[in-house]
Structures are given as structure tokens and as C-alpha cells.
Amino acid sequence: MSNYFNKEIETMPLEQLRELQSERLVEQVKHVYENVKFYHDKMDEAGIKPEDIKSVDDLSKLPFINKDDLRDQYPYGLVGVPLSECVRIQSTSGTTGRRVVAFYTQGDIDIWDECCARAIVAAGGTKDDVCHVCYGYGLFTGGPGLNGGSHKVGCLTLPMSSGNTERQLQFMEDLGSTILCCTPSYAANLGEAINERGLKDKIKLKAGIFGAEPWTEEMRKSIEDSLGIKAYDIYGLTEITGPGVSFECEAQAGMHVQEDHFIPEIINPETGEVLPDGEVGELVFTCITKKAFPLLRYRTRDLCKLTREKCSCGRTHVRMHKPMGRSDDMMIVKGVNVWPSQIEAVLLKQGYQANYQIVVDRHNNRDSIEVQVELTPEMAADNSVPVEIREKKIVDGLKSMLGIKVDVKVVEPKTIVRSEGKAKRVIDRRNLYV
């Protein structure tokens, strides 16, 4: 039996949801046209008046906005209310090099908090839970978002922030944390540390809410086993609000997009054409309620697909597939498209943990790609399989996954740097020469 933070909205019949979205979209378009010069000019250029947008069916008439627009408008160009109405600024973590600042009114923060509260309740959270938040706090949206959601649910909130693993474990044990919120890579590290110290029986964790970076199903299984919990995916981006734009329910089969606030579309990244449900393309979001930083048809560069198939949890909101990386993450190596998540899947299938690094380089115009992966302590203790055999098996696995030869180096346990926030899996040295 599923629990909801806001049952009426989360299980709203589709037709009613469409009406709500249409009403909100019409109002939002008027708001940005009147208050944001950038949109005013852009809509004028495209020959669109606010009156032309009468319902969600007209959404595709609006122009797109992308990360370069945000950079050009930095810092205040897209703010939709007087600064005196804004109460908060957050900023992207700069994974792709360009920082973006986003603004929030108190109303926008309330929306964000509620989305995170819905995610916590969907993961089984109630006011009796101890919610351990070790996403980073500060400009990064992870900590503040889940913190706000945890308060709204009424959980006892531990604002741990990231890092200092010893202290994390001590508080987890002493205070009986039941829900863990962090990046999946940090969850994997905590799992490793807990098992090394023989603490598994002493911790009370039952669920984890993990996001802010791509992770595979193999990684989910590995985290669930090592921590003895159910692991839920959560997605979001600073530009749209932060974590909670979408999240998983107990079905763990895609993340429900909070459609009463954010309308998703999937487009062909080359042509901009809107694609039907089920097709993979670039994810685009329109904020229909946020006032301070109201992005319309924002191109996320995240690639995924949507499904409207009925979900067993009773939520009616559309589900998005786990984005397996953004178009920016894709590397072209030896002329072939390579995603870090494909490499991760091969490694975890062969029993390795997600402690790996990918190094791409170029010499004499020829690309090389090397994957370094740590032996697990059990593998290191087992002398019956020579390292060369292990390496060959990974090389073969990667060859059949990617179609190219990847160099593989198996390294001793604990030699690859652990991540405390978003993991940096790829070192692309080719960028140094351009």
C-alpha cells in the first residue's frame, strides 16, 4: 500500500491534471512575458503572443532555452520578480564547467520542499524517521532540498552535509538514522566503510534516496546489498529547482515527474521535434509554478524517455527513465560513442565495486582509453585468479559492450580516490590539447 505526501495531486486523474497544467502554463507565460525581458524579446522574435498559449497543447509553440542562454543572462537576466521578493540563491555544481545561479521566492522554496517531501514519503518516510542528509549543503541544491523535504514530512533531520565518513557512521549508529540521502557514489562508499567496520548490524537504515549523478541498476543492487536497504532514485537540476523534480516510488520503475509543477517533454536533440512517449531523446522542462527563475522549455541535455503506463503505486504522474548520463557525458573514443554508465555496468556485473576511473588520452592522433578498477578485498585475498586473467575478462566484456578495445588495469583495493559528492569518473586528457 503506497503512501503519498499529497494524495490528491499525486493521484490526480490525467484529464484533471492536464487542466491544472494548462491553467498554470497560461498564467506562467503571461508572467514571464511581462516580467522577463529575455522572454519578451524571444517570444516577439518568434511571433508569439501570450494569448497564443491557451493550453498545454500549445507548449511546443514556445521557443527553447538552453544552458548558453543562462550563461548569457548571468546573473539577473532571467529573474522574474523584484530581487526584494527573492529569498535564496543556489548554484549548479559545475559538473559541465558552467555554473548557473538560480533564484527562489519563499513560494518557490515551498514548492521545492514539497517535491522533496513527496520523494521521502514515496520511499516510505514518515515523521517517525531519522533522515540523514549527507548531500553537500551550501550552493549545491542536494543538501538544502532534502533538508527542506525532511522538515516538511516531520522527520528528525540530520543535516550532516558531505564528507567526514567517520562522523557520518558514528551519528548513523548513535542516532539511529533510518533514511539516507546522498549521491549513489557516496552511498557505495558508506556501504563499504560500514561493512569493513562490521557495523551492518548496528545501523537501522531502511531506505536511501540517491541521485544527482547517473547510476546503473547494477550499482543499485550493490548498494542495497551492502547497506541492507531499498535504494530509491531521485532526479533534479538546479535550473529547474533542485532534487525532487522527479523521484521513484516503491515500484522502482522510473521516476514520477512532479507534473503539477514541471512539464516534461522529450525532443530530438538535432531537430527540436517533440518525440512520442517511449522514445529516447533530450529531456526538456517547463516550470509552471515557480516565479523567481521561471524557465520555459529548458533543454537539460539529459537523455532519457517517458512512460505513461499505469504505475502500481497509484500515482498518475508520468515516469521518466533513469537518465544514463547527459549528452555532455558521452565521449567519442576511436569514433565510437562511449558512456561511463556502460563501463560501470560491465564492471559491476563482473563483481567489482563502483571504484573505477576512466582515462582517455590521445597520442599521434590516436585515441586511447584505459579503465582502472579496484579489486574488492575478497578478490585481492584470492590468489587463484591471476590479475591478467581478470583484466582480460574485463577487456572482453567491454569489447562486446562498446565494440572497441579498452585497456584495463586492475589495481589494489583503496587506491582510487573515493567521492563524497558527485563522482568524477572520467579524466579526458584530450581536452588539454584543444
Question: Binding residues for ligand ADP, per CB under 6 A?
Answer: 92-96, 211-214, 233-238, 300, 302, 322-323, 326
Task: For the CB of residue 323, give the shortest distance to ligand ADP in the complex, in Å.
Answer: 5
Of Zn ion, ligand ADP, none, which one sits near residue 374, judging by CB under 5 to 8 A according to partner kind? none
Of Zn ion, ligand ADP, none, which one sits near residue 350, judging by CB under 5 to 8 A according to partner kind? none
Task: For the CB of residue 1, give the shortest distance to Zn ion in the complex, in Å.
Answer: 13
Measured distance CA(137)–CA(196) in Å, rounded: 27
Q: All 3 cell numbers of residue 355? A: 571504484
The answer to whether 4 touches 153, Cβ cutoff 8 Å, is no
Q: Judged by CB, which is closer to ligand ADP: 12, or 282?
A: 282
Q: Which stretch binds Zn ion (CB under 5 A): 179-187, 205-213, 304-312, 336-344?
A: 304-312
Q: Judged by CB, which is closer to ligand ADP: 190, or 212?
A: 212
Measured distance CA(27)–CA(20) in Å, rounded: 11
Residue 311 interacts with Zn ion (CB under 5 A): yes or no: yes
Task: For the CB of residue 142, give the shortest distance to ligand ADP in the complex, in Å.
Answer: 7
Task: For the CB of residue 310, give the shortest distance to ligand ADP in the complex, in Å.
Answer: 23
Q: Judged by CB, which is closer to Zn ion: 251, or 330?
A: 251
Q: All 3 cell numbers of residue 192? A: 563499504
The answer to whether 103 touches 88, Cβ cutoff 8 Å, is yes
Pairing of strands 230-237, 207-211: parallel
What's at 306, amino acid-wise? Answer: L
According to DSSP, residue 72 is labeled H
Q: Judged by CB, which is closer to ligand ADP: 102, or 169?
A: 102
Task: For the CB of residue 324, give the shortest distance to ligand ADP in the complex, in Å.
Answer: 7
Task: For the CB of residue 300, give the shortest distance to ligand ADP in the complex, in Å.
Answer: 5
Q: Judged by CB, which is closer to Zn ion: 117, or 249?
A: 249
Q: All 3 cell numbers of residue 78? A: 532571467
Q: Judged by CB, which is closer to ligand ADP: 80, or 244?
A: 244
- b/e code 413-427 from CB counts within 10 Å (16+ = b): beebeebbbbbebee
Task: For the CB of residue 251, give the shortest distance to Zn ion in the complex, in Å.
Answer: 5
DSSP character string of 291-351: -SS--SSEEEEEEE-EE-SPPTT---S-EEPPP--BGGG-EEETTEEE-HHHHHHHHHHTT
Q: What is the helix, strand, coil percentage profile of the chain, to 5?
A: 35, 25, 40
Residue 313 interacts with Zn ion (CB under 5 A): yes or no: yes
Q: Judged by CB, which is closer to ligand ADP: 337, or 415?
A: 337
Contact set for Zn ion, span 234-253 (CB under 5 A) = 249, 251
Q: All 3 cell numbers of residue 234? A: 531521485
- List 315, 322, 422, 425, residue binding Zn ion (CB under 5 A): 315
The answer to whether 272 touches 60, Cβ cutoff 8 Å, is no
Task: For the CB of residue 190, give the shortest distance to ligand ADP in the complex, in Å.
Answer: 18
Q: Judged by CB, which is closer to ligand ADP: 50, or 143?
A: 143
Instruction: Please tell me whether residue 247 adopts helix, strand or coil conformation.
Output: strand
Of ligand ADP, Zn ion, none, which one sits near residue 315, judging by CB under 5 to 8 A according to partner kind? Zn ion
Q: Residue numbers of the site for Zn ion (CB under 5 A)?
A: 249, 251, 311, 313, 315
